[in-house]
Amino acid sequence: QNSHSFLNSHNKSKNDLITFKNYLNFSRPVSSILAHQVLAINRASERGVITVKIHLSPQVQHNCATFVSQKYFSTVNRIHWNFVMLAFDDAWKRLLDPHLVRSIRHKLTTSAQDASLDVFTENLRRLLMTAPLRNPFSLANDSIVNNDSDIGMISSASGAPGDRLPVVGLDPGWCNGCKWAACDPHGNVLGTGILWPPHT
C-alpha cells in the first residue's frame, strides 16, 4: 500500500534555507514523489533543516491485522483474542510500522540514486560523443585580418576553416562563483579559475 503512504517534512531550522524552501512542510504520496525530490529531502534532512516522516495508511495496519487473524486465530481460544490483538497492536507500533517505514525510505533512496546515475550517465555520454568544435568555413570573399594586439589571444582567426577550435567552458554559479576552464584545440588545459559576479 505504498501509494497511500505520505512523506512529510517539517521545518526545524530557524533560518529557512533558500536551497530547500520547496521542501518545508512538504507532503507527497510515495507513489508520485520524484527522484530529485527524494535526494533533495535526504540532503535537507542530513543538514538538520527538516525532519522526515512517512505515514502509512490505516488500511495497511488493517490488512496486516486481518492477515494475522486469519492465519493464527483459528488456533487461539476465543477468550484470548483480545489479548492477542493487544499484542499485535504493540508489535505494530514498536516493530512492524518502523520496519515498513525504513524499508520504504530505503527503497525510495535506492531508486532515486539509480535514476540519478542514469541521468548522469546519459548526460556524460552525450558530452563525450560531442564532435569537436571546428572553425566555420568562410565565404570565398571573406578575408581574415590579424592585428598585432591579437597575439597570444585565444581566437579562431589564426586557424584554417575546419580546424578544431579552442574552447572556454563556464559553470555558472552565484554563491560559489562561476568556474571557467580554457582548452586548446587538442584538449590540453590552458587555464582555470573562478569569476565572482558582482553583488547587488
Q: Does residue 171 lie in a domain region?
A: yes
Count: domains in the chain = 2
Question: Same domain for 39 and 108?
Answer: yes
Q: What is the mean pLDDT of residues 171-195?
A: 89
Range of the domain at 173: 163-200
β strands within the chain, DSSP E:
6-11, 27-29, 50-55, 167-171, 178-183, 189-195
Residue among 45, 42, 59, 61 nearest 99 (CA): 61
Residue 185 reports pLDDT greater than 80:
yes
Kindly state whether residue 153 falls inside one of the protein's structural domains.
Answer: no
Q: 190 vs 1, which has greater pLDDT?
A: 190
pLDDT bucket at 139, cuts 50 / 70 / 90: very low
Q: What is the pLDDT of residue 5?
A: 46
Considering the domain architecture, whether residues 60 and 108 belong to the same structural domain is answered as yes
| pLDDT over threshold 80, residue 55 | yes
Classify residue 44 by burial, with Cβ atoms within 10 Å: 0-12, 13-18, 19+.
Answer: buried
pLDDT tens track for 56-108: 989 999 999 888 888 877 787 888 888 888 988 999 999 999 999 999 999 99
Let me know the angle formed at the C-alpha of 44 by 179 and 42, rounded to the nearest 5 degrees: 100
Q: What is the mean pLDDT of the chain?
A: 80
Are 37 and 98 part of one and the same domain? yes
Overall average pLDDT of the 30-34 stretch: 91
Boundary-marking domain end, from 128, 148, 178: 128
More confident residue, 23 or 174: 23
pLDDT at 113: 96
The pLDDT of residue 160 is 64
Percent of the chain with pLDDT over 70: 78
Distance from first CA to last CA of the chain, Å, rounded? 50
Q: Is the pLDDT of residue 140 over 60?
A: no
pLDDT: is 78 or 133 the higher one? 78
Q: Three cell numbers at 61?
A: 495496519
Strands 6-11 and 27-29: antiparallel
The residue-averaged pLDDT of 144-172 equals 65
Are 92 and 179 within one domain? no
* Distance, CA of 154 to CA of 138 (rounded, Å): 19
- The yes-or-no verdict on residue 9 having pLDDT over 70 is no
